[in-house]
Amino acid sequence: MNLTPEIENIDKIWDSYSKTKDPVEREKLAEHYLYLVKIALGRLLYILPSHIDREDLESYGVIGLLQALDRYQPEKGLRFETFALSRIRGAALDYLRSLDPLTRRERRGWKEVMAAYQKLEGEKGREPTLSEIAEELEASVEEVTWIIERGKSAFFFSLDEEKEEGEKLLDGVKEERLMFNPEALLEKEELLDYLGKAIEELPERERLSIALYYFEGLTLKEIGAILEVKESRVSQIISRALLKLKAKLSDWK
């Protein structure tokens, strides 16, 4: 198949669109570059909890693509594909962050629990229990469990920590750097690989609970029926798994 006519046609459309901003030509360009949405969101869809509609996320990716078409400046010498990938992923992440249900107070509590977990793990040379974490924080086990419980629905979106503290994991590179340094895109992909491996290293029950809760959308009751344990026990299993994953991600370079 000879692809040269198609490439030449796209070049002509770009040249015309840059001058006229014709909406018809914009639509043609959007259709041509639609495949970039799949590329940009591929790994993100892998960790997406089942209660988030994938079509909604892809719709925001398309919005990012359209923004890229409107704002692209070819005279800067950057390939459109590189520019668009940054915009698409940014739009999707903005959407996911808007779904984060944690308040600032709850997020601060989550950080305190994590700090206590890491401190005790270093001192004891093993994973601390919820009781030990609660004692360290001078709180009850119920309070610690509640903090972790609140963090469950937001965990995969809270990889992007509060910007004022600079603790950015998933979105750890400024958009300007992403646009002019494609290697930064690879850095994000490596983080998702690291998260996947961290999940695989969890004990079987924890790994299964995380998969069923986040990726399959099962309730605690349904997971309890599969594991033949009470809902409260499932909650504890998931809570411990989240603490381990967060600790591992904190060590990610």
For residue 176, give both structure tokens: 């300007």
Model pLDDT, residue 34: 92
Confidence of residue 241 (pLDDT cuts 50, 70, 90): confident
For residue 133, give both structure tokens: 């974490």
Is the pLDDT reported for residue 127 higher than 80? yes
Place of tokens 């692809």: 3
Taking only the tens place, the pLDDT of each residue in 75-98 is 777 889 988 988 898 888 888 777
Taking only the tens place, the pLDDT of each residue in 139-159 is 988 888 878 776 665 555 544
Q: Which domains does the chain have, with CATH numbers?
A: 4-98 (1.10.1740.10), 104-250 (1.20.140)
Taking only the tens place, the pLDDT of each residue in 35-67 is 999 888 876 665 565 567 778 888 999 999 999
Give the torsion through C-alpha atoms of 130, 132, 138, 140, to 10 deg. Answer: 30
Model pLDDT, residue 160: 43
Other beta carbons within 10 angstroms of residue 220's beta carbon come to 21
Is the pLDDT reported for residue 101 higher than 80? no
**What is the pTM assigned to this prediction?**
0.48
